[in-house]
Amino acid sequence: MASHGLTYEGCNFLRQRLVLSALSGKRVKIKNIRSKDDEPGLRDFEANFIRLLDKLTNGSTIEINQTGTVLVYQPGLLYGGTVEHDCNPQRSIGYYLEALLMLGPFMKSPLKATLRGVTNDLTDPTVDLLKSTALPVMKKFGIDGEGFDIKVVKRGMAPGGGGEVVFTCPVRKTVRPVQLTDPGKIKRIRGVAYSVRVSPQMGNRIVESARGILNQFLPDIYIYTDHMKGANSGKSPGFGLTLVAETLNGYFLSAEMLSTPQGQGDPILPEDLGRNCAKLLLEEIYRGGCVDSSNQSLALLLMTLGQQDVSKVLLGPLSPYTIEFLRHIRDFFQIMFKIEVQKPLEDERKGGDKVLMTCVGVGYSNISKTLK
């Protein structure tokens, strides 16, 4: 690999590559983006993501060839500040927000991003999920403060969208190393059942069926219903459920499920949705670890950027997305993780195999942060 930058092929993991490029300051070239496709090149939502990155940085250069199959990104300074962005409705706000969570703490000035679009869809983690699981993960690394929040102003279900979310994030000079190795037992389950442009009764039906399963294991369960009306309810009808289990040591595992978008396949009953989501949560608890599967790469990134000290995090089985992310971290930051598989003892009932990830941080310090 040449020292002037990194070269990749294909459209997979585009977000990972651009986010790591922006953090490491390394130029990245991605070629053969869907070059064999009937419609070659970048999709609208990817171009939209690149525009968002451009708003957040100062002095980035982005070159895309005519067919959109080659992208060269030379990152500039992460600037931050107040940003407004209309996300492409092909993907939900969660797709864009996941990247903002990774970049937010390392801006020059505190970030206040207003994102508009689809708040909840079937492909990406919803805004509710990121609020209830990604923020607590970041707090463990010392990224916290009064201005650290994700606020759902309006909901917008797929396919129409029309939602609005405000993400505010303080800046940090450094990230502290962590030892997250013992999740502890589950102590309570919280959740939100949301419904827009359908009968408010849907929420109650979801809650009842989810409790029917979870109450067999745990008494402390509270799922509140969120029914948004009028202008705040977006453009499409729908309902869904996000469940979060909290462990004794303050870690969060989550699962979520949504109704089928309008005009896309068979409708799902709220009772079935509640039951299936509860089962998904039990599955996630079985996988276990201190960080749930949707936030593995966020935790690994913060470990990589930590001070030059050892960080350890216990995860459930690694998702394919996370495995690719580890390869990218090695490319951009030359950091290799030590991976130890831990098998639970027969009688402990600790769920599936766990993976203990260990690394020494690169001692990343936020150079763009304004000196006080």
Per residue in 184-222, pLDDT tens? 899 999 999 999 999 999 999 999 999 999 999 999 999
Instruction: Let me know whether 192 and 282 are in one domain.
Output: yes
Same domain? For 59 and 40 the reply is yes
Rounded to two decimals, the pTM is 0.93
Distances (CA, A) of 362 to 194, 331, 358: 41, 13, 13
**Within this chain, do residues 264 and 307 fall inside the same structural domain, yes or no?**
no
Query: Does the residue 107 lie in any domain?
Result: no
User: Residue 168 in contact with residue 148, Cβ under 8 Å?
Assistant: yes
Res 146: pLDDT? 83
Do both 317 and 225 map to the same domain? no
Q: What is the pLDDT of residue 248?
A: 94
Residue 139 CA to residue 327 CA, distance in Å, equals 25
Residue 133 domain-assigned? no
Q: In terms of residues, how long is the chain?
A: 372
Domain finish residue from 35, 55, 78: 78
Q: Which of 35, 56, 78 is the last residue of a domain?
A: 78
- At 64, which CATH number? 3.30.110
Query: Does 220 map to a domain?
Result: yes
Q: Is residue 69 domain-shared with residue 39, that is, in the same domain?
A: yes
- Please tell me the distance from the alpha carbon of residue 117 to that of residue 91, in angstroms, as a whole number: 9
Residue 246 covered by a domain:
yes
Q: What is the pLDDT of residue 236?
A: 93
Question: Within this chain, do residues 211 and 298 fall inside the same structural domain, yes or no?
Answer: no
- Number of structural domains the chain divides into: 3
Q: Domain boundary at 264, 286, 308, which?
A: 286
Within-domain flag for 263: yes
Q: Flag whether 91 is in a domain.
A: no
User: What order of strands is seen across the sheet that includes strand 28-31?
Assistant: 6-9, 28-31, 71-74, 61-64
Q: Which residues of the chain have pLDDT under 50?
A: 1-3, 372
| Sign of the CA dihedral with 277 first, then 283, 287, and 288 last | positive
Regarding whether 228 and 214 lie in a shared domain, the answer is yes
In terms of domains, do 12 and 51 share one? yes
* Same domain (yes/no): 220, 299: no
Alpha-carbon distance of 317 to 269, in angstroms, equals: 31
Determine the pLDDT at residue 288. 87
Q: Are residues 267 and 304 in the same domain?
A: no
**112 assigned to some structural domain:** no
Mean pLDDT of the chain: 92
Expressed as residue numbers, the domain containing 47 is 1-78
Residue 265: name the closest of 238, 226, 229 by CA.
238
- Residue 137 located in a structural domain: no
Per-residue model confidence (pLDDT) at position 263: 84
276 and 203, same structural domain? yes
Amino acid at 157: M
Residue 58 contacts residue 77 (beta carbons within 8 Å): yes
DSSP at 106: G
What pLDDT score does 15 carry? 95
Q: Are residues 30 and 68 in the same domain?
A: yes
How many CA atoms are closer than 13 Å to the CA of 159, on its beta-carbon side?
6
